[in-house]
Amino acid sequence: MICVLTGGTGGAKFVDGLRQVMAAEDITLIVNTGDDLLWWGLYVSPDIDSITYVLSGMLSRERGWGVKGDTFFCLQAMGQLGEPTWFHTGDRDLAVHLLRSRLLAEGKTLSEATSVISAKLGVKAHILPMSDSRVETRVDTPIGELSFEQYFVQRWYQDPVNSVRFAGASDAEPASGVIDAILTADAVVLAPSNPVTSIGPILAVPGIREAMLKAQGKIVAVSPIVGGAPVAGPAGILMEAQGLPCSIAGVAQAYEDFLDFLIVDTRDSEAAEQLRKNGPRVQCTQTVMRTADDKAALARTVLSLVCGGLYSSEPTAGATSDLP
Q: Which residues bind ligand GDP (CB under 6 A)?
A: 6-11, 13, 47, 191-194, 197-198, 222-224, 226, 230-233, 235, 287-289
Residue in 138, 187, 171, 227 with CA at minimum distance from that of residue 309: 187
Q: Smallest distance, Å, CB 35 to ligand GDP?
A: 6
Least distance from ligand GDP to the Cβ atom of residue 65, Å:
8
Rounded least distance, CB 77 to ligand GDP, Å:
27
Identify the three-state secondary structure at position 241: helix
Query: From the CB of 297, what's the least distance to ligand GDP, in Å?
Result: 12
Nearest approach, Cβ of residue 236 and ligand GDP (Å): 8
Report the distance separating Cα 148 and Cα 100, nearest Å. Answer: 21
Cα separation of 142 and 47, whole Å?
Answer: 27
Between residues 68 and 108, which has the closer beta carbon with respect to ligand GDP? 68
Closer residue to ligand GDP in complex, CB, 38/105: 38
Contact assessment for residue 100 and residue 113, using Cβ atoms and an 8 Å cutoff? yes
DSSP 8-state secondary structure symbol assigned to residue 25: G
130-155 burial, b if ≥16 CB within 10 A, otherwise e? bbbbebbbbbbbeeeebbbbbbbbee
- Name the residue nearer to ligand GDP (CB basis): 217 or 233: 233
Judging by beta carbons within 10 Å of its beta carbon (0-12, 13-18, 19+), is residue 293 exposed, middle or buried?
exposed
Asked if 246 and 228 touch (Cβ cutoff 8 Å), the reply is: yes
For residue 59, the minimal CB distance to ligand GDP (Å) is 12
Task: Choose between 10 and 66: whose C-beta lies nearer to ligand GDP.
Answer: 10
Q: Indicate the length of the chain as a whole number.
A: 324
- Closer by beta carbon to ligand GDP, 47 or else 93: 47
Nearer to ligand GDP, 126 or 295 (CB): 295
Q: Between 83 and 229, whose beta carbon lies closer to ligand GDP?
A: 229
Query: Judged by CB, which is closer to ligand GDP: 110, or 191?
Result: 191
Residue nearest to ligand GDP (CB): 10
Distances (CA, A) of 216 to 1, 146, 190, 278, 307: 12, 38, 15, 23, 12
Give the nearest distance from C-beta 105 to ligand GDP in angstroms: 25
CB 309, min distance to ligand GDP, A: 26
To ligand GDP, the closest distance from the beta carbon of 231 in angstroms equals 4
- What whole-number distance in Å separates Cα of residue 35 and Cα of residue 274? 34
Dist. CA 146–CA 45, nearest whole Å: 17
- SS3 track for 84-114: CCCCCCCHHHHHHHHHHHHHHHCCCCHHHHH
SS3 state at 184:
helix
Q: Which is nearer to ligand GDP, 83 or 293 (CB)?
A: 293
Contact 21, 313 (CB under 8 A): yes
